[in-house]
């Protein structure tokens, strides 16, 4: 079903199919090969929700209580630039799949390569590469990501780049004879916050310079409307419904990348598989300045189709709103 939709509507999709097509085109391989003997994952969190701080004024206040009533599994990490502290929350699963948020990692690796070559960024980056970067980030185009991933050296090159940050708990997915690999990268919310801090604050120093960071943020600030769900909710108001989700607030900057896919370990038909839905980015404005990553996995299937996708979005947006309020 999904492949037929792509072929028929790739160039000029009807408006009513935009949200569905965004899911199909932006997902990191909905039909990735399943492991032999794999079974459908459980969707209920099994462990208690824990946070990295016991401070009464933690920006994660109230989130564990909210998650107690939710299915699926959530991991979040927050770096607050005003306090210089990183906060973490988890209610199970040490690592989760990146889906398309790994495209920020692929972008960073390319920008560093041009930086090392002394290329003026972005003006002197070849147009074809800039086009692929734009498509990969702003439209979550999988073909663009696959091209940049493969011709950028694949999993080995990206793994070497990640040691500079470092992202020690991230395992880059490798290309195989039947799958392009990157969408099955495994990571933690804390690792993704470290990556986003490179773009937001230039930390650690030397990984990306001001021009590379500015260009990367520019791309992430221009994500197409039907893909700007997630950590925009709260910073851009509390009305965060599809198809265009939150309306940008000129006083608050949000640079983000989202990712979504059905779990590759699921052997059921796609419509019956739980979801991975993620949101990561940088928020600045209205007295706040922070980097936030929220990963959700095993999002319940419900009646099938996009139910798990929408469930994951709802969880992320409610967590994001609480964090935004708590940082007031």
Lowest mean pLDDT among 39-53, 146-160, 188-202, 212-226: 39-53
pLDDT of residue 102: 98
Given a contact cutoff of 8 angstroms between Cβ atoms, the answer to whether 122 and 128 are in contact is no
pLDDT of residue 239: 93
Name the band, by pLDDT with cuts 50, 70 and 90, for residue 180.
Answer: very high
Name the band, by pLDDT with cuts 50, 70 and 90, for residue 298.
Answer: very high
**What number is the average pLDDT over the span 114-142?**
98
Encode pLDDT of 63-82 as tens digits: 999 999 899 999 999 999 99
**What number is the average pLDDT over the span 141-167?**
98
**5 vs 55, more confident:** 55
pLDDT of residue 118: 97
Q: How far is CA 145 from CA 7, 26, 132, 134, 322, in A?
A: 19, 10, 7, 10, 32
Percent with pLDDT over 90 in the chain: 80
CA distance 273 to 246: 27
Lowest mean pLDDT among 39-53, 197-211, 277-291: 39-53
pLDDT at 129 over 70: yes
Round the average pLDDT of the chain to a whole number and report it: 87
The predicted model scores a pTM of 0.86
pLDDT of residue 55: 55
Encode pLDDT of 216-256 as tens digits: 999 999 999 999 999 999 999 999 999 999 999 999 999 99
**What number is the average pLDDT over the span 286-303?**
96
pLDDT at 26 over 60: no
**What number is the average pLDDT over the span 116-122?**
97
pLDDT of residue 117: 97
pLDDT of residue 127: 98
pLDDT at 29 over 70: no
pLDDT of residue 12: 33
Can you name the CATH fold of 2-33+41-326?
A: Beta-lactamase (3.40.710)
CA distance 228 to 73: 22
- The pair of three-digit structure tokens given for residue 132, joined into one six-digit string: 């692929």
Given a contact cutoff of 8 angstroms between Cβ atoms, the answer to whether 276 and 302 are in contact is no
The sign of the CA dihedral 37, 38, 40, 41 is positive
**What number is the average pLDDT over the span 259-266?**
96
pLDDT of residue 93: 78
The sign of the CA dihedral 137, 143, 145, 151 is negative
């Amino acid at each position: 079903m999904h492949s037929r939709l792509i072929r028929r509507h790739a160039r000029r999709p009807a408006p009513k199919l935009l949200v569905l097509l965004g899911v199909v085109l932006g997902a990191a391989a909905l039909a990735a090969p399943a492991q032999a003997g794999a079974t459908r994952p459980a969707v209920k969190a099994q462990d208690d929700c824990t946070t990295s701080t016991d401070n009464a004024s933690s920006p994660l206040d109230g989130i564990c209580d909210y998650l107690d009533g939710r299915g699926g599994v959530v991991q979040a990490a927050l770096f607050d630039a005003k306090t210089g502290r990183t906060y973490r929350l988890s209610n199970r699963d040490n690592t989760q799949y990146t889906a398309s948020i790994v495209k920020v990692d692929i972008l960073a690796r390319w920008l560093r390569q041009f930086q090392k070559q002394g290329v003026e960024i972005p003006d002197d980056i070849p147009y074809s590469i800039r086009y692929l970067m734009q498509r990969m980030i702003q439209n979550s185009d999988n073909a663009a990501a696959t091209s940049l991933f493969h011709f950028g050296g694949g999993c080995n090159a990206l793994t070497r780049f990640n040691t500079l940050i470092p992202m020690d708990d991230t395992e880059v997915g490798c290309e195989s004879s039947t799958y392009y690999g990157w969408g099955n990268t495994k990571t933690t919310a804390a690792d993704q916050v470290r990556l986003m801090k490179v773009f937001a604050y230039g930390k650690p120093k030397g990984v990306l310079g001001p021009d590379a960071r500015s260009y990367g943020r520019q791309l992430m600030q221009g994500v197409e409307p039907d893909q700007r769900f997630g950590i925009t909710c709260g910073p851009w108001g509390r009305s965060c419904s599809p198809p265009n989700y939150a309306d940008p607030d000129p006083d608050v900057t949000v640079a983000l990348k989202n990712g979504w896919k059905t779990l590759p370990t699921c052997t059921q038909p796609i419509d019956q598989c739980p979801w991975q839905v993620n949101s990561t980015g940088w928020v600045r404005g209205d007295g706040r300045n922070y980097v936030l990553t929220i990963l959700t996995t095993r999002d319940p299937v419900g009646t099938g189709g996009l139910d798990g996708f929408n469930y994951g979005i709802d969880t992320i947006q409610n967590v994001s709103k609480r964090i935004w309020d708590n940082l007031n």
